[in-house]
Structure 1
């Protein structure tokens, strides 16, 4: 019997952080600045990953409490180590588990860089809306793949397609064509969100040298 030793970056928190976490942290802060909600609210975070958005919520929003869920044990473990705040409760769970949460039990429901990985996005957003109280806030952000978002990854994928055209269907803009301002607004409306708004949030990704750029891809 042959045992598989394939590295699973979706369970290894440190690997994911080197690849994506260092860019998602500045985006999280900018997202909360745009959201501009009051302090002292109860939050739900769907797909918390290694805790970039969770950490920003604690730092900038003075929440009464945060329930943060993610299906990856490795990500949750790292998030717990990084965000040791008694107001935050990390749980293993995915968007499908939202159906078990009580209605009107949170003030804000958010998801950072996760919606494109959820199979039934409309159902997830509808559940988030059900969970927030009257006049609550549901908000999310994803990379604008079709519009050239997350440019360092796009550069890699473009080079890969030039070397092997057969990998074209694996590029993020092919896999997630809805990740555009128009697509996200349409998705929000389909889920029943009232008065959806969308804006661009940008942050630079600066590398010290090629090795700094290349290592996360390995």
Structure 2
């Protein structure tokens, strides 16, 4: 599902970048610290760390070789390196990093509690363990609009949407993950970013890239069904006089710190 960096950038990466910038600012990690970005994807969060946090080093880890290659080529920063790896079994010793973060990854790991335990393991006591996830219930409105239209045409589509499939999209489940991993001082906060599309094609075309559950559903449809979905969305979306479509996206961010070893 997640492999083609350019297609992901057109679909979700452009919105994950402002969320990542807000997330890094919220964390307030001091300069000259070592960072780990788990589930680094195409490098949105790592790029925000490099741009604003003045890290000493940054390591990005992702299971997709295609995403790792995209992040490596996009970043081009001597402080950063990107490797293929599994969030549930990180190839680093305990206490190796000052901050371990993850952007939009937890819902796509089969055992998210194992991933958070690994984040906590590799961070030094008093460091930062943090993540953010999209609010698929209603806060990520581009997806909410897509699935509402899809379900209107095909009620079975409701079983495929992120809000049904992924539990880590609200404050309490992610808070429980952090406290369950033994992390202290756990805080959860909303991050809201605007998602303004130039026109309807700017909204619709990224859903044809097959990167993620909604695009995978869109490309699985027959041409007639896909056309019906496209036209229903065109009818329902709130277009401005200039054709632009102004929506919004909400992410839930969580942070905590390991105690003494």
| Partners of 1:131 and 1:119 in 2: CA distance | 20
2:167 to 169, 177, 181: 177
Match of 1:5 in 2: none
1:20 corresponds to 2:29? no
Match of 2:136 in 1: 145
Match of 1:205 in 2: 195
Compute the displacement of 1:136 (Å): 0.7
CA contact (8 A) 1:72 1:92 kept: yes
CA contact (8 A) 2:136 2:143 kept: no
Considering only aligned residues, what root-mean-square deviation do their CA atoms show, in Å? Answer: 1.0
| Partners of 2:129 and 2:163 in 1: CA distance | 25
Alpha-carbon deviations, 1:147-180, whole Å to 9, x = none?
x122111100110011000111111110113311
SS in 2 for 1:27: helix
Compute the displacement of 1:96 (Å): 2.4
Show structure 1 runs of 5+ residues with no match: 1-8
2:61 to 48, 58, 69: 69
CA contact (8 A) 1:43 1:106 kept: yes
| Partners of 2:50 and 2:42 in 1: CA distance | 14
Match of 1:40 in 2: 32
CA contact (8 A) 1:145 1:179 kept: yes
| Partners of 1:80 and 1:90 in 2: CA distance | 6
SS in 2 for 1:142: strand
| Partners of 1:106 and 1:10 in 2: CA distance | 26
SS in 1 for 2:131: strand
| Partners of 1:134 and 1:56 in 2: CA distance | 24
Show structure 2 runs of 5+ residues with no match: 209-261
CA contact (8 A) 2:94 2:123 kept: yes
| Structure 1 segment 1-218 matched on structure 2, within 5 A | 10-98=2-90, 100-146=91-137, 148-218=138-208
SS in 2 for 1:89: strand
Structure ranking higher on relative contact order (CA contacts 8 Å, 6+ apart): 2
Report which of the two has the higher share of strand.
2
CA contact (8 A) 1:47 1:69 kept: yes
46-55 vs 172-181, which moves further: 172-181
State the structure with more CA Rg.
2
* Greater than 6 Å deviation, 4+ residue runs: none
| TM superposition score normalised by structure 2 | 0.78
